[in-house]
Structure 1
Amino acid sequence: MITQGEAGRLFVEGPIQMDSVAALLDALLPRVEAGDVLLDFSRVPHVDSSSLALLLSLLRKARGAQHSLKLCSAPPAFNSLAALYGVDGIFAEQLAHDAAA
């Protein structure tokens, strides 16, 4: 589930896992294509490796549309999975927003 916060912040709510990622992708792709997006994961209790696929797809779409995609409050499991799969460097710029959020 996605909810709109202040200043364009989008809260992802609930777990991001294999059975929820398709619906999240469908909900988030139009927003990423329309403009800059800040995704807040502070309401995400659990992620699995499908969260990496979700964010890689969104990042590719955002870059293709010349928009930014920033992430904040990523769960520790997301960071661990990104490092495990060797894609943590791809998300470094997006996750750097945590300090400014």
Structure 2
Amino acid sequence: MNVLRTSNRLWAYFSPAEDIAPGERTGRFRIGSDQLVLDAGGRSRISAEDAAVALVDEAELPRFIQRRFTVGYSLSLFHPVLAGDMGWSVAVVTRQGPSSLAW
């Protein structure tokens, strides 16, 4: 990461969830920065299909220029305050079409 941080290149570093496997494309996941995104069971997981959506979204609309990001299913999609209390930088994403995001 230090090599990237000191370069003059534009980059983003994707750190996938601990458990990434083929599954359903839900379009509902959380984006984090340096901490794992955990679900209600304390697992860090995402389907390969939703991870691909996150990567394409970042390529189309860069938000993590010269930063690392991760994705995963939510501890609770309806408790952003709780996520903030745990020190996470997150955004809830719902994919609603080929190029549209709802925040």
TM-score (norm 1): 0.29
Greater helix proportion: 1
Greater strand proportion: 2
More relative contact order, 1 or 2 (CA 8 Å, 6+ apart): 2
Q: Which has the larger radius of gyration?
A: 2
TM-score (norm 2): 0.29
